[in-house]
Amino acid sequence: DIQMTQSPSSLSASVGDRVTITCQAGQDINNHLNWYQQKPGKAPNLLIYDISRLEPGVPSRFTGSGSGTEFTFTISSLQPEDIGTYYCQQFETLPITFGQGTRLEIK
Amino acid sequence: EVRLVESGGGLVQPGGSLRLSCAASGFTFSSYEMTWVRQAPGKGLEWLSYISTSSSTIYYADSVRGRFTTSRDNAKESQFLLMNSLRVEDTAVYYCARSESSGLGGRPEHFDVWGQGTRVTVSS
């Protein structure tokens, strides 16, 4: 199984801050990476697929980048509604695996 | 409105069985591949299974292979997960999700529509 490691596991930032989450894959995943947001008590929500493609309806402050084994998710200007847990997910090989999540809080 | 609604969760004893259902609406169900993902209490996301549009291709995670069976009924616009030999560690919220592809499909890629989840508790 491909292990996906996110960092940090949690972070606290202020409204307006630039926030970055990294995701490291245990092997080259050929850019087959997605990002999800999960708000407390809710189902996950797809934000970015195929490294950097923004899901329709998702604000442009969310971006993704990276290649190979190192990937980055960025919120350019943190908004109060962005609180939640963020997960990366690889689909290079089965089984599909997710990162352990990054919990984002507002200071 | 594109929607997925799970049902069938509940409390079951270890070794028991449950059948989860996922009803789709607002899109052409037969044209989409589907998947199941679960989340144990306070834990992250775990992918469980994938089923192609015609049910010809099915994949499982090792943790459930041989115990869980996924299926679909395109006429009823529904996906199902039959869970046998349930274990305490299967306790989780189970999500049904639509699986989208940027390419030819035939395998799980990204999950763009999710249900609200149904809770399964395995306990004696």
Question: Is the pLDDT assigned to residue B104 strictly greater than 80?
Answer: no
Among B37, B62, B109, beta carbon nearest to A91: B109
Q: How far is CA A48 from CA A99, A106, B71, B75, B110, in A?
A: 15, 22, 28, 31, 9
Measured between CB atoms, does A54 come within 8 Å of chain B?
no
Higher pLDDT: A43 or B104? It is A43
The answer to whether B77 faces chain A, any CB pair under 8 Å, is no
Quick: pLDDT tens for A56-90.
999 999 999 999 999 999 999 999 999 999 999 99
Average pLDDT, chain B: 96
Which of B47, B100, B110 is closest, CB to CB, to A95?
B47
Q: To which residue do tokens 């989450």 refer?
A: A21
Residues forming beta bridges with residue A4, ordered by sequence position: A25
